[in-house]
Chain A
Amino acid sequence: GENVEQHPSTLSVQEGDSAVIKCTYSDSASNYFPWYKQELGKGPQLIIDIRSNVGEKKDQRIAVTLNKTAKHFSLHITETQPEDSAVYFCAASIGVWGSQGNLIFGKGTKLSVKP
């Protein structure tokens, strides 16, 4: 079955710096890659996602890149702010329209942004 590896497990940056979190997946059939942010005491919240027919996607300070050949995808956060501090999870799934597969999650990255 699918396996998702996520690195690093913890990341500390200064406010205003960039943060990069990387994930690799094992099943080449995976075609949907969301990123979730989880704050303390809350459920995971989708922040950005990408499908396998797209190499890069950007939403304001957040971007995700996907390399299908190498089977890895990355989350990039620019101009980090203290409110970006949280645990970030990558995930992968196999799904076609109308038949979304379950998500396989990485172990998470605890991001700390120091003021």
Chain B
Amino acid sequence: DSGVTQTPKHLITATGQRVTLRCSPRSGDLSVYWYQQSLDQGLQFLIQYYNGEERAKGNILERFSAQQFPDLHSELNLSSLELGDSALYFCASSSLALGAKETQYFGPGTRLLVL
């Protein structure tokens, strides 16, 4: 158990809909990362937040957005869903404190199926 929690575990929805994925980082970790895992693209970085602020952006579509709240949990919002958005979405967290290990710990993921 990495200490990172994600809900829901599974999500089935229809094209055009909007969903919200939730992540709680390990206790004490200030940084949260979102990754998408699909069969053809592998594990791809989407976006990173650090202590409530966006730190880095990867291959995140404009239909997707994220935020990190004062209690450090994060939400990934996916809107106008398409069939191709079906994938596993992982959240990871790390400390980023000076002198801390840079290890990213991954949650169990949310499996999204768009029908």
Contacts and interface: CB of A to CB of B under 8 A. Distances in A.
A102 B96 contact: no
A5 B67 CA distance: 31
B88 to A, nearest CB: 9
Contact of A103 (B31, B98, B104, B109): B104
A115 B33 CA distance: 37
Contacts of A93: 102
Interface residues of A, number: 24
A10 to B, nearest CB: 14
A61 interface: no
Given A100-B96, A103-B104, A43 B58 contact: no
B38 to A, nearest CB: 11
A49 B108 contact: no
Contacts of B45: 102-104
B74 interface: no
Contacts of A46: 103-105
B43 A100 contact: no
B56 A43 contact: no
Contacts of B48: 102
Contact of A42 (B31, B33, B97, B108): B108
Interface string A28-59: 00001010100000111110010000000000
Nearest to A91: B43
Interface of B: 2, 4, 31, 33, 35, 42-45, 48, 56, 58, 90, 94, 96-99, 102-109
